[in-house]
Amino acid sequence: MEAVIASSIILAVLFVMFVIGVLAYRLRVKVLRVDTYMVAGRTLGFLVTFLNMAAVIYSGFAFLGAAGWAYAYGAPVLYIWIYGALAYTLAFFFAPRIWETARGQGLLTQSDFFMWRYGSKLLMILTALVGITFNIPYGQLQILTTKYVLDLSTYGALPTLHIAVLSFVLTMVYVLLGGMVSVAITNVFLGIIMLAGMLGGGLSLIIHYFGGLPGLFKAVESVKPEHVYLWAATGRNSVQWVITAAVGSGLGFWVWPQLAQMVFPAKDAKVLRRSIVMTSWYHVLGIIWASLTGLVALGLGMKLAVADHAFLALIRDTFGPVALGFIGAAGMSASLSSAAGIILTQASLLSRNIYQGWIKPTASEKEIVLVSRLSVVVFTLISVILAYTAPAHLVYLLLVGYTGITQMFPGWVLGSIWRWITKEGVLAGLVVGLVVGVLTVFVWPDYLGIHSIIWGLIFNLPITLLVSKLTYKGG
């Protein structure tokens, strides 16, 4: 009976999500142009822009991976708290500048910006391929998070991976039909559920067991004191790892192509700036409280086979199946709303920048939308196959993606500020940064306790700046 109650709530939310996505397409999309499909015709107001942005940003990692990271490593979870301050401060200043350029030049994707700014088809194609490739593990992460939600909420009664895949496919259907319009309107519903789950669930657990944050931290120190301090010389319990992970994630936060895609649909720069401010509060009230539930599990001395189960296991054991159903639905919402943004962005990059920008420049709008829709199916299938064949830890998947994506930071952020950044500099820095980033993920993981994102940037930034200075013609 407990499994039926919790599972029914989750499946009801899944059904409502699907209905909203399909109805948004049928009621709101009058003419399906390329700009309508990819950026909703730049018509989104404050509430929709804010919640759409938040729902795409805060994924299964934010909901379950953050708690699992705190349970497994303790104090290093601080990197999540720190990078938000850096990320939103940067975005407040440079994102409206990007939006103004996108509106004036008719840009629809991040790689459109690279083509416009640097006049380089090679750079446009390369950044599109980076955005597509390094978003594949992020898409896979969303399926695995949904599986973890179902693992606990169904009490082992159902084939959870198969149902998680089915939910991903349902998400694909409304993305395929309505593009950004369906994604954005559905994410208003999912974003509200997510925030309620992260804040309400995290806060209630802390108060229930420890009466507040001081009691929580004292309990963790008494049970596992090494998880309260950053004292290791190397590895993920070191000060340098936390600092470099925080700085790297903060710099790379708004470089993700799907976040660029969420910036473009705002109807004006004022709406965008207000949405960024509100989404920063979503970080404070959402992911930070969700991550603290991992410390609650530590403080209680819970023994978990899977660290990423911490949040939901606590809700299940403390408040029962009804609460588990609602919090599980919030976790599933976090995963599927991000998945929708990811696969739409991958499809947009492929159809707009590789198909139209490289293979067939004369492609009609109808043809580009068709290629986008076919691409949505293809990228969904890739994530599904990987979810079955190559599961991995949630935070690991996210950080692998971050390492590659962040290497576009000089061209994306610095290039929007400084005119003297050149295509030669960006291209040279990007290639070297990607090589170093991949090596420090797979060959020498986080060498000397420094995160692979920063290793890539250590080589990327000087090369970008030096080559740009040498090749800038002025004017």
Cα distances from 156 to residues 148, 259, 414, in angstroms, run: 11, 35, 49
Tens-binned pLDDT, residue by residue, of the chain (475 aa): 787 888 889 889 999 999 999 998 887 776 679 999 999 999 999 999 999 999 999 887 777 888 988 998 888 888 888 999 999 999 999 999 999 999 999 999 999 999 999 999 999 999 999 889 888 877 877 888 888 888 887 776 677 888 888 898 999 999 999 999 999 999 999 999 999 999 999 999 999 999 999 999 999 999 988 888 876 656 666 888 889 989 998 999 999 999 888 999 999 999 999 999 999 999 999 889 999 999 999 999 999 888 888 999 999 999 999 999 998 899 889 889 999 999 999 999 999 999 999 999 999 999 999 999 999 999 999 888 887 776 655 455 556 677 888 999 999 999 988 999 999 999 999 999 999 998 998 888 888 889 899 999 999 999 999 999 999 987 5
Could you tell me which of 172, 123, 120, 167 has the C-alpha nearest to residue 347? 172
Contact 17, 189 (CB under 8 A): yes
Contact 114, 427 (CB under 8 A): no
pLDDT of residue 7: 85
DSSP-assigned letters across all residues of 101-142: HHHHHT--SHHHHHHHHH--HHHHHHHHHHHHHTTHHHHHHH
Angle between helix 310-319 and helix 136-153 axes, rounded to 10 deg: 20
Q: Which helix (H) or strand (E) holds 463?
A: helix 452-471
pLDDT of residue 438: 84
pLDDT of residue 142: 83
pLDDT of residue 62: 78
pLDDT of residue 203: 93
pLDDT of residue 394: 47
Number of H helices, E strands in the chain: 24, 0
- Cα angle: 277, vertex 278, 284; to 5 degrees: 100
pLDDT of residue 268: 95
Could you tell me which of 246, 275, 199 has the C-alpha nearest to residue 87? 246
pLDDT in tens, 9-68: 988 999 999 999 999 888 777 667 999 999 999 999 999 999 999 999 988 777 788 898
Quote the tokens at residue 215.
Answer: 């009691």
Q: What residue has token string 């998947």? A: 397
Three-state DSSP string of 7-31? HHHHHHHHHHHHHHHHHHHHHHCCC
pLDDT of residue 360: 95
Quote the tokens at residue 299.
Answer: 């403080």
Q: What residue has token string 């931290």? A: 217
**In angstroms, how far apart are the furthest CA atoms of the chain?**
72
Which residues, at least 6 apart from 362, have a Cβ–Cβ distance to it below 8 Å?
A: none
Q: How far apart are the first and last CA of the chain?
A: 72
CA-to-CA distance for 275 and 68, rounded, in angstroms?
29
Q: What residue has token string 């199946």? A: 321
Residue 231, Cβ density class (10 Å: 0-12 exposed, 13-18 middle, ≥19 buried): exposed
Instruction: Map out the domains of the chain with their CATH numbers.
Output: 2-390 (1.20.1730.10)
The phi, psi pair for 193, rounded to 5°, reads -65, -40
Quote the tokens at residue 450.
Answer: 């420094």
CA-to-CA distance for 153 and 148, rounded, in angstroms?
9
Indicate the SS3 state at residue 256: coil
CA-to-CA distance for 213 and 133, rounded, in angstroms?
40
* Radius of gyration of the chain measured on its C-alpha atoms: 21
Quote the tokens at residue 433.
Answer: 């940064």
The phi, psi pair for 36, rounded to 5°, reads -65, -45
pTM for the model stands at 0.91
Looking at the DSSP bridge assignments, the partners of residue 238 are 232
Quote the tokens at residue 193.
Answer: 């559920």
CA-to-CA distance for 89 and 246, rounded, in angstroms?
14
Q: Which helix (H) or strand (E) holds 78?
A: helix 78-105
